[in-house]
Amino acid sequence: MSIPTTARQYILPTLGSYNNLVLTDVTVPKPKPNEVLLKAHAVSLQYRDLLVATDRYPGGDMPANLIPCSDVAGEIVAIGEDVKGWKVGDRVCPNFMLEKLHGDHTTPAIAATALGGAVDGTLTEYRNYPASSLVKIADHLTYEEASTLPCAALTAYNALIAGYEPLKAGDTVLILGTGGVSIFGLQFALASGATVIVTSSSDEKLKVATKLGAHHVINYKTNTKWDEEVLRLTNGVGVDHVIEVGGNGTLMQSVNSIRMGGSISIVGFVGGNTPPPDLIALFIWKSLKIRGLYVGSVQQFADMNRLMAVNQAVTRPVVDKVFPFEDAKAAYAYLESQAHVGKVVIKVN
């Protein structure tokens, strides 16, 4: 494959709005000895990408002219002289944090390697990545499907499977919402043999969740006391696990919904900046395991891919809509509208 000398990439000259995105021409870089040059085929969007673009992300200062986005699936088109184990033509995804290779421990230095935040991201046609950060794409996935994995899928996997109390058959899981992390949480819970309860503000989205296999669904707009409904569905016991994406606005009801000794994985705060509830006494009395988590490692990514490979029918990524590269702003707007179920993807080629 011939490699062009120039390529297109998006930058954010100023933060405050995704409408500030500018498509620019740049020189295609040559990989360093320990890097590969990746030709991007698809980039998926995260809620984090909205927060970064609108200058609401709590992750610290962003570099000038930031290349946004963290998740990409592509093809290796050149390799550095010291790279082992990869070859031109391999289909891969880089990990969300380039230097988070093993385990679940994240240091500030590792967190600073998160793509599309402290370092330039993936919304570009060609980019170099450390060879150590790469994970092979399963043969049964398209580039568009694979691009959804590095953040959303790995976060859900880490929450339910790779944590200190892995999900097991017969457990009951409460999934808040129907966005990217939530849908993957539903799929991984089903693959593990769990009973799944899903909440959403939309009956149409709940129909999709039911079609994907959710055992029970609750519209939290029409049933504002959804925690009481969760207790009813579990015969007053509560669920074993909660994937909590709402933050302060939903955390109290999540705590009410969980059994004594249960686990809550806090992975987002899409519910907005509401005042935090006073939950310390409940945390103690219910002996809860509260875990905030920030995506996962290269090793966990590879483990997750193996789980998905043997559960293909249940864990196939749900891609709601694909936008052309030239329409990146429209993709951001669609994500912001919250009309999607699953993932929003930008096709690069």
Tens-place pLDDT, residues 289-344: 999 999 999 999 999 999 999 999 999 999 999 999 999 999 999 999 999 999 99
pLDDT recorded at residue 201: 93
Question: What are the backbone dihedrals phi and psi of residue 147, each rounded to the nearest 5 degrees, phi first?
Answer: -65, -15
pLDDT classification of 105: cutoffs 50, 70, 90: confident
The angle formed by the CA atoms of residues 155, 238 and 179, to the nearest 5 degrees, is 30
The mean-pLDDT minimum among 78-92, 107-121, 136-150, 265-279 falls in 265-279
Beta bridge partners of 138: none
Two tokens at 293?
A: 């988590």
**Rounded to whole angstroms, how far apart are CA atoms 247 and 306?**
31
pLDDT classification of 190: cutoffs 50, 70, 90: very high
DSSP 8-state class, residue 289: E
Q: pLDDT for 11-50, tens place per residue?
A: 999 999 999 999 999 999 999 999 999 999 999 999 999 9
First-last CA distance in the chain: 14
pLDDT recorded at residue 43: 99
User: Model pTM?
Assistant: 0.95
For residue 272, is pLDDT > 80? no
- DSSP strand pairing (343-347 vs 319-324): parallel
Give SS3 for 248: helix
| CA nearest neighbour of 185 among 84, 325, 315 | 315
The Cα-based distances of 226 to 187, 221, 253, 268 in angstroms read: 22, 9, 8, 19
Cα torsion at 68, 71, 77, 82 (round to 10°)?
A: 100
